[in-house]
């Protein structure tokens, strides 16, 4: 038989194990699994997600593997997140197909999946909050063509050929060159895992093999910084077009080492991911793509308020 002392003891134990009554059970938890954590881009996405969580009164976590080569680690993170029975989940796939079995489990459990930055080859995600990478990379190709005079040899250093961002940025750039600029020859497409050290070595090998090379497109933050470092070490002056912003790329543009770059809206990507998850939980219909926008920036327009708002450190 329970007496007052038993009841007080039970309440104290409940407090120690974190029991907080019915409100705790109703908390809306939405984990976000990103492609990485080391680049400033992902920190900016996290900032946007945290702001949306505050605005919509939900709880989020944000994590990603140490390197954007760690597909297995990302899959483990996704599995662990789903085991916590979240209300919804955000996912930026390193491999556009590897996660599909787990995403099917989420779908079966009626957990809405929101893709961000990099989608998957499946209709399971209710929407994808991302840059139109095909269009953005095509703009990068136009800028490259303009700066090299519409002819000559160029190359690409891309982060991977498994994620939708890697595939779309490569194809968007290559297809635009093939369609519009017959006098431009793409002599090499290499993959550096988004790692600036690996991308530096790749750049140096491309430059050694192609003494007449006029330009290189670096398809993400780590790739672009690797291209800058490689050309500096080889003492070569070529046109470099990057992707993303961040302190090192902005500095390279200010110093004239990089001509310009595409900037996404990473804070917007994070915000729209959480916002879409909340809308899905309310039963609202979502567009298949949430286009978060992009801009080309260089030394001439970096201080423009519209551009400065989407550059990040």
Do 56 and 98 fall into the same domain?
yes
Do 112 and 141 fall into the same domain?
no
Q: Measured between alpha carbons, how far is residue 11 from residues 26, 46, 120, 205 in Å?
A: 20, 37, 47, 67
Q: Is residue 206 domain-resident?
A: yes
Do 254 and 186 fall into the same domain?
yes
Last residue of a domain, one of 247, 263, 279: 263
Residue pLDDT, tens place only, 120-168? 889 999 999 999 999 999 999 999 999 999 999 999 999 999 999 999 9
Do 61 and 179 fall into the same domain?
no
Q: Is residue 11 domain-resident?
A: no
Give the burial string for 177-207 (b: 16+ CB within 10 Å, else e). beeebeebbbebbbbbbbbbebbbbbbbebb
Residue pLDDT, tens place only, 207-262? 999 999 999 999 999 999 999 999 999 999 999 999 999 899 999 999 999 999 99
- Res 40: pLDDT: 87
Q: What is the CATH number of the domain that holds 43?
A: 3.40.50.2300
Please give the residue that has the higher pLDDT: either 40 or 295. Answer: 295
Residue 162, CB half-sphere, CA atoms under 13 Å: how many? Answer: 15
Do 37 and 87 fall into the same domain?
yes
- Least confident among 19-23, 95-99, 152-156, 171-175: 19-23
Q: Is residue 111 domain-resident?
A: yes
Do 45 and 97 fall into the same domain?
yes
Question: What angle, 0 to 180 degrees and rounded to 10, lies between the N-to-C axes of helices 196-209 and 221-234?
Answer: 50
Q: Is residue 305 domain-resident?
A: no
Which residues span the domain enclosing 289? 28-131+266-293
What's the pTM value of the predicted model, to 2 decimals?
0.83
* Rounded Cα–Cα distance for residues 60 and 132 (Å): 25
pLDDT confidence band for 21 (50 / 70 / 90): very low
- Least confident among 2-16, 89-103, 286-300: 2-16
Residues, the chain? 313
The total number of structural domains in the chain stands at 2
Do 62 and 208 fall into the same domain?
no
Do 126 and 137 fall into the same domain?
no
* Rounded Cα–Cα distance for residues 48 and 277 (Å): 14
Which residues, including other chains, have CB under 8 Å from residue 209's CB and lie 6 or more apart? 187, 188
Q: At residue 4, does pLDDT exceed 70?
A: no
Do 65 and 98 fall into the same domain?
yes
Q: Is residue 235 domain-resident?
A: yes
Q: Is residue 67 domain-resident?
A: yes
Q: Is residue 284 domain-resident?
A: yes
Tokens 């550096």 correspond to 192
Do 153 and 44 fall into the same domain?
no
Do 250 and 286 fall into the same domain?
no
Do 126 and 200 fall into the same domain?
no
Q: Is residue 3 domain-resident?
A: no
């Amino acid at each position: 038989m329970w007496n007052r002392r038993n009841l007080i003891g039970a309440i104290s134990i409940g407090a120690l194990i974190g029991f907080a009554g019915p409100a705790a059970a109703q908390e809306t938890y939405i984990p976000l699994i990103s492609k990485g954590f080391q680049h400033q881009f992902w920190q900016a996405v996290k900032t946007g997600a945290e702001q949306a969580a505050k605005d919509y009164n939900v709880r989020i976590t944000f994590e990603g593997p140490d390197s954007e080569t760690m597909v297995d680690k990302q899959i483990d993170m996704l599995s662990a997140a789903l085991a916590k029975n979240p209300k919804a989940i955000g996912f930026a796939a390193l491999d556009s197909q590897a996660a599909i079995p787990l995403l099917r489990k989420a779908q079966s459990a009626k957990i809405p999946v929101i893709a961000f930055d990099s989608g998957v080859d499946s209709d399971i995600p209710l929407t994808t909050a991302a840059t139109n990478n095909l269009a953005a990379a095509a703009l990068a190709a136009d800028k490259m063509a303009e700066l090299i005079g519409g002819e000559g040899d160029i190359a690409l250093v891309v982060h991977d050929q498994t994620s939708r961002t890697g595939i779309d940025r490569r194809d968007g750039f290559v297809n635009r060159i093939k369609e519009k600029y017959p006098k431009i020859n793409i002599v090499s497409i290499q993959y550096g895992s988004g790692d600036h050290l690996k991308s530096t070595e790749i750049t140096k090998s491309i430059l050694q093999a192609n003494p007449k090379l006029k330009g290189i497109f670096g398809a993400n933050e780590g790739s672009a910084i690797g291209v800058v470092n490689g050309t500096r070490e080889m003492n070569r002056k070529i046109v470099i077009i990057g992707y993303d912003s961040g302190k090192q790329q902005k500095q390279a543009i200010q110093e004239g080492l990089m001509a310009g770059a595409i900037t996404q809206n990473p804070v917007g990507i994070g915000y729209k991911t959480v916002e879409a998850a909340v809308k899905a939980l309310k039963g609202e219909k979502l567009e298949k793509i949430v286009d978060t926008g992009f801009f080309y920036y260089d030394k001439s327009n970096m201080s423009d308020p519209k551009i400065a708002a989407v550059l990040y450190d």
